[in-house]
Structure 1
Amino acid sequence: MSVTVRQIPLWLCTLTLAAFAVQTDDFIIIGVLPDLSRDLHVSEGTAGQLVTVYSLVYALAAPALALLLARIDRKRVLCCALVVFIATNLVVPLVTSFPALMGLRVSAALAAAVVLPAALAAATAAAPPDRRGRYLATVMTGLTGAVLIGVPTGTYIGDAVGWQATFVFAGVLGAVALLLSLVTVPRTPAAVEPAAGVREVLRPVLNRAVLAVLLVTVVTVAGNLAFQTYLAPFLADLASVTRRQLALLLVLSGAGGILGTRLSGRFVDQYGSLRALVTAGGLFCAGMAAFCALWVSRPVPLVPVAALLMWWSAAAWAVPPAIQALMVDRVGPESATQAMALQSSSAYVGAAVGGGLGGALVAVDAGLLPAVAAILVGLALGGAWWAVRSAPTTVNISGASAGPGEAAGAAAGERGARTERGH
């Protein structure tokens, strides 16, 4: 059962807006990549490394910053991080060189690495115990909404005013979230579990099955982001897609992503995490194969491209809930929080790898992007199968094993809080 509109408090909407702002800022480069690279006199492959660096900084900084700021009130942490996020985006119009923009993206990533975890922590602390999972899920809808609304809107703004305006748009979103946070978000106690720090966060990695799932996450996200980051040049070569057409296509792909996420959750509950992951990954690979076939006969009409983009997005967004459920199946309820934190970071490592790989591929031939994406996701599916076959029982970080019934119960208990990101 999901949270209805009437049940959503204003402060929860504010936290969702904060998540929406940082996710929009992460992906917004996709729609303005060609203009940005031209104005800053770098190749599109080089410009795409802005996504790589952003993701890598987030992946490395999020766990460390979470520990460093654990003793501070979550509302204060959230508001301070939003101030940094706003500033780094609003000054982008003053930038005249690529290195300067890269520096600002590093600052924005550091801020985002605090904003999203702080928003989730605030939602957890302030939620009624029986609605905690649903409140977390509500905050995470900001991520999907960024793909459906934020990125297309930023693309339209960039086409009309200039690519710098897209970052200003993200900064304005952050400013609205900050103002609402100051007024609506309740103060919550700090997460004072200090000494459980680094050792407790890292201990799940020592489990072979958990490490396998983390590697599956990295490879899957890398495959998808290698394709997604360079979607604009790929579609321009495939079907001569204009900026405004790209914005519309991003809306359609966002709608496909929401559909895929919802269907994936139901599929996981009914058939299990591994089968859901294999199904979603298989559909993703099929979509990439279809793009490869279209590439051979380019230029192609816009209609089949739009249909395939919705297919790709639905499959890509169906993967994260399945992987997250697979992780919960591996660790049990006591270790789920630490393991999921590591999985979030591993997703950004995958995004960084995918951005770098995609930049190298697009410099050679953009048609290589869907082929390599399919290969990587196929490898990840094999890794997921191995992870389940090699350790069929749940193992928590204390080292105790649980039987299949307990594993299923752990998964069911955690699925209410499952996130929607993949990217």
Structure 2
Amino acid sequence: MRLRLLLLALGTFAVGTDSMVMAGILDGIADNLGVSVSAAGQLVSVFALSYALLAPVLATLTARWDRRRLLLTALGVFTVANALSALAPGYGTLLATRGLAAAGAALYTPTASGVATALAPPERRGRALATVLGGMTVATALGVPVGAYLGSTDWRLTMWLVVALGVAAFAGLALLMRGLPAPAAGAPGLRERLTPLRDRRVVAGAATTLTFFLAFNAIYIYLATAVRPATGGDQGRLSLILLVTGIASVAGSWLGGRLVDRLGVRTVLLAGSVAAGLAFTALPWLSRSLPGALVYAVVSPLAGWAVGVALPHRMASIAPANAPLLISLNSSALYLGVASAGAVGSGAMAVLGERWFPLVSAGLAVVAWGLSFTTTARPADAGRAVGAREAGARVRELSSSAGRAE
């Protein structure tokens, strides 16, 4: 099982590198294609919005597909799209290929997350999700810096790096991801699969995901600006902060999986939102010095990615038979948060200034905490953390649902 999870994580590593590295090569793209940096920035928005809109639709349309076939199709589309991006002769073509790459990513990540929960026993599903989602966090610590370095010479080399990662993940899954259960002949149709969308818990879960990742990314996108007093504009200091952020993201994902299994989703959501909110609130003061900025670079992603593991686990627990759709909805909410964060962060800076704009994220973290507090079930005995066991029981069906879990 461990090797399969790592192969799934390799795919999410490729997706994470592709979705996050673009911000580091926008200048090169703008110069090469003769467009403004703001126009090049639309490549990030198109990817995020395409992902958000397509994830639940594709999850529904492919509900009866064999899981292995679905994983390989998703990676194939994603990899081919990035190859086309590398070969794009102009801005319009590149914009179109970014949308196509998002379609492959939107199909792959929820499927990989669902397959991870199906492969693991109930008491270890939080850790299984953390392993697969860990590919995204490792991308922030390794894939993005390497991709940005290659892109400093030629942005197309960054695209070829993502292609190579996609090919490696495709080959590994093609060889070793066998024996997954096939969808049942009586798999629910479109109308039945959309039934959970009328569940208030689903809406609340998606709203929590959107709010939290909006808060987190409204700062992350403008982190260089937020910590400029600590770096003095020095690229080496900024690189150090980004490196620490990436490492803490990996640790947060690992820790989140274990805490979800041990303490339950509710506890992780509430504690993580508080920790992240305190970090956002303190950033205007922490950013005055490099040690302070490094403290933020540890605490914020550590809490943020722990919450990031708990959120899809919560969604999958609501209606196990519809876990693929629910996880894809969680992904959609996440990417809507990412897509909106640029405008929210920019607006916050315009109103509050470069030092104080993180306070908007602190306010959003309070909203996310409130949503989690009011819409998640209390464990019967918090001292013994039975919430994790109850969540595991609710998703037990995933491992025997004839492949409907992605």
Q: Does 1:8 align with 2:33?
A: no
In the superposition, the TM-score normalised over structure 2's length comes to 0.80
Amino acid at match of 2:368: A
What is the CA distance between 1:220 and its match in structure 2? 0.9
- 1:410 alignment partner in structure 2: 390
SS in 2 for 1:83: helix
Aligned residue among 170, 179, 191 for 2:183: 191
- 2:341 alignment partner in structure 1: 354
Over aligned residues, Cα RMSD in angstroms? 3.7
Q: Does 1:144 align with 2:137?
A: yes
What is the CA distance between 1:280 and its match in structure 2? 1.5
- 1:375 alignment partner in structure 2: 363
- 2:17 alignment partner in structure 1: 24
Structure-2 change in CA distance of 1:369 and 1:110 (3 Å) = farther
Amino acid at match of 1:410: E
- 1:216 alignment partner in structure 2: 208
Q: Does 1:111 align with 2:91?
A: no
Say if 1:325 and 1:415, in contact at 8 Å, map to a contact too.
Answer: no
Structure-2 change in CA distance of 1:12 and 1:33 (3 Å) = same
Partners of 2:262 and 2:2 in 1: how far apart?
28
SS in 2 for 1:291: helix
- 1:173 alignment partner in structure 2: 165
Partners of 1:273 and 1:132 in 2: how far apart?
13
- 1:402 alignment partner in structure 2: none
- 1:163 alignment partner in structure 2: 155
Structure-2 change in CA distance of 1:186 and 1:36 (3 Å) = same
Amino acid at match of 1:370: P
Structure-2 change in CA distance of 1:112 and 1:366 (3 Å) = farther
In the superposition, the TM-score normalised over structure 1's length comes to 0.77
What is the CA distance between 1:361 and its match in structure 2? 4.9
Q: Does 1:291 align with 2:283?
A: yes
Amino acid at match of 1:376: L
Aligned residue among 67, 71, 93 for 1:74: 67
What do the CA deviations read for 1:200-245 (whole angstroms, capped 9, x no partner)?
3332232223322221111111111222233345545762455555
- 1:308 alignment partner in structure 2: 296
What is the CA distance between 1:339 and its match in structure 2? 3.5
Map 1:120-131 to 2 at 5 A: 120=113, 127=119
**Percent identical residues:** 33
What is the CA distance between 1:166 and its match in structure 2? 2.1
Structure-2 change in CA distance of 1:414 and 1:59 (3 Å) = farther
Aligned residue among 44, 57, 60 for 2:53: 60
- 1:420 alignment partner in structure 2: none
Q: Does 1:252 align with 2:244?
A: yes
Partners of 1:79 and 1:72 in 2: how far apart?
11
Partners of 2:171 and 2:260 in 1: how far apart?
38
- 2:273 alignment partner in structure 1: 281
Say if 1:87 and 1:171, in contact at 8 Å, map to a contact too.
Answer: yes
Partners of 1:294 and 1:135 in 2: how far apart?
34
What do the CA deviations read for 1:333-365 (whole angstroms, capped 9, x no partner)?
566565444323222222222244335556775
Say if 1:332 and 1:407, in contact at 8 Å, map to a contact too.
Answer: no
Amino acid at match of 1:213: G
Say if 1:265 and 1:322, in contact at 8 Å, map to a contact too.
Answer: yes
Partners of 1:82 and 1:107 in 2: how far apart?
11
What do the CA deviations read for 1:22-77 (whole angstroms, capped 9, x no partner)?
11111112333455456556665554443332122112212221232334333333
Query: Which stretches in structure 2 are left out of the alignment for 5+ residues?
Result: 399-406
Say if 2:13 and 2:136, in contact at 8 Å, map to a contact too.
Answer: yes
Say if 1:328 and 1:410, in contact at 8 Å, map to a contact too.
Answer: no
What is the CA distance between 1:247 and its match in structure 2? 4.2
